Chains A and B, each alone.
Chain A
């Protein structure tokens, strides 16, 4: 039993280490996206003022890229438990009470994000049938809308994993340390 517990803890540690490495790589990827958006903005505005050239769809490209960036960043922030919050209660709670608070946060995330994923899927099915395209780029609108489907879907999965992890931590012996991240 102790051995299987130890193996479980090691596996969880591996998942967290792997998760941290992936998070770091994804964060840099989001950084590259932001740099690209800045470049498009500067080239577009500079081109317009200096040469009277305007790039059709540049605004759409930037906005849609940032929507994808927001959803990617939201997933990473949920995983890192770094979203903006009023963290007085968790920071003053005992480790066990903090784990209980995290379980409630995780459950709320599973509840809300899974419903938004469902809503997003419903909407994307509809507009994909209609074949709606964006005004400037002529991009299928399923592409920018899919950012929300991907983002909330991924947040649901992350929240399910965090809920399972925090529930296990909560159900351990009362003296055990709560594990939040």
Chain B
């Protein structure tokens, strides 16, 4: 079974096979050659993985993000962030972090944020005195914030896999996400002073007001979505639907930057991206089902109990393992496979499952830009045209900064739980 459920999938993953096939091939090989199960069970588990109302939030938030991205929102958010921080040394880098955080609060897709911001910001960053490596590294790593800032696809999946409240997870992600952004911005300022990179412009209240007015409709969306969920007006899935309606109205009537045909095209793109995520959800569900029926979670709990681990050591171990996994596997797959295995252990050691969800998300967010396989590195590579090894060097300082943020988030649970518990 190790061959079919571990070695075959790892080999397929390493040679670039689609992730859903990585899972499915392992499961089918196990069913055919190792553990005969009725074929109909496979259909039931695959279908059961998709037959879930809460999962509808994923295509909705992907679509809302796509609409806001296509409506020219990225440039408005960049201008807004730059108008607010223009006087700070390295202000363009700080604005990059700020814009990435704002995009994350709209779409929840890290890859989309790196692609959307990278095209506009990379040439400007290089022209402002950031080296190519540093600019590419900043863009690739700032996308990690989007996985933690709500609405987050990773949080929705964790909520489903670990049977936790998605609204609580959304609220719990706000402060850790802002901490990550603040630490990255702090590093950009300090390193810009050291490198002699000047600020872009003096702060001008009129320019800031104009930029805020331009970006207002976009900035209102997270308030509308999170406010609605937090105040019990609608569920995350309903909030996703309303976010789409809001984004359509903004694109058609406020920014007037899209036609009906553009909206259908954006819906088509979102449908494809959602399908690519949700087929992984279905197939990861099958591999988790197989591991669970083999008693793996209980075996891990037993193993951890035998090691007599305290929560601190457990969380450090989890951080190391998840960072490693995050370098190889996208957050969707990693959360779906590992949350059902790790959450029971975390709960047995007294770790709050909401806090654990944030720790998992931050780890996997860091993995998104950790060499050699971090997905955002490849996205930044296609946007900037830089070779991978340049980006590897460029992300290193930001990797160190976000690892420090991870330690704070891991060992200060109040950061994750103070907002979520009030709900």
Contact = CB atoms under 8 A, between A and B. Distances in A.
A42 B241 contact: yes
Contact of B241 (A45, A109, A120): A45
A116 to B, nearest CB: 6
A119 B39 contact: yes
A28 B25 contact: no
Nearest to B373: A86
A38 B264 contact: no
B210 interface: no
Interface in A120-169: 120, 122-124, 126, 144-145, 148
A90 B16 contact: yes
A73 B272 contact: yes
User: Which residue, B60, B267, B268, B279, has most C-beta atoms of chain A within 10 A?
Assistant: B268
B223 interface: no
B87 to A, nearest CB: 41
B59 interface: yes
A108 B12 contact: yes
A1 B16 CA distance: 35
B198 to A, nearest CB: 37
Interface string B267-285: 1111110111111101000
Contacts of B16: 85-91, 101, 105
Contacts of A30: 267-268, 271-272, 275
Contact of B279 (A74, A101, A108): A74
Contacts of B375: 86
Contacts of A124: 43
A38 B47 contact: no
A145 B373 CA distance: 35
B276 A145 contact: no
Contact of A66 (B18, B42, B55, B234): B55
Chain A contact-residue range equals: 35 or more
A63 B15 contact: no
Nearest to A102: B16
Interface string B229-246: 000011001101110110
B363 interface: no
Secondary structure class of chain A's binding surface, majority of residues: helix
B50 A70 contact: yes
A32 B41 CA distance: 32
B279 A70 contact: yes
Contacts of A104: 12, 15, 17
Contacts of B24: 112-113, 116
B290 to A, nearest CB: 14
A123 B38 CA distance: 10
Interface string A16-36: 000000000001111111110
Secondary structure class of chain B's binding surface, majority of residues: helix
Contacts of B244: 38, 42
Contact of A37 (B29, B59, B333): B59
Nearest to B52: A63
Given A32-B267, A78-B18, A122-B43, A63 B51 contact: yes
B369 interface: no
User: Which residue, A76, A83, A86, has most C-beta atoms of chain B within 10 A?
Assistant: A86
Chain B contact-residue range equals: 35 or more
User: Which residue, A27, A34, A115, has most C-beta atoms of chain B within 10 A?
Assistant: A34
Contacts of B245: 38, 42
Contacts of B55: 63, 66
A5 interface: no
Nearest to B270: A34
B43 A108 contact: no
Contacts of A111: 25, 28-29
B59 A116 contact: no
Interface in B189-246: 233-234, 237-238, 240-242, 244-245
A112 B31 CA distance: 11
Contacts of A32: 264, 267
Contacts of A126: 40
A25 to B, nearest CB: 10
B309 interface: no
Nearest to B242: A42
A108 B47 contact: no
Given A45-B242, A113-B24, A120-B43, 8 more contacts: A30-B272, A31-B268, A41-B241, A63-B55, A83-B21, A88-B16, A104-B17, A123-B43
10 smallest A-B Cβ distances: which pairs? A73-B275, A31-B267, A31-B268, A41-B241, A83-B18, A119-B39, A30-B271, A123-B43, A27-B268, A123-B40
8 contacts: A38-B60, A67-B51, A71-B279, A86-B329, A104-B12, A108-B17, A116-B43, A145-B47
Interface of B: 12-21, 24-25, 27-29, 31-32, 39-44, 46-47, 50-53, 55-56, 59-60, 63, 233-234, 237-238, 240-242, 244-245, 263-272, 274-280, 282, 328-330, 332-333, 372-373, 375, 378, 388
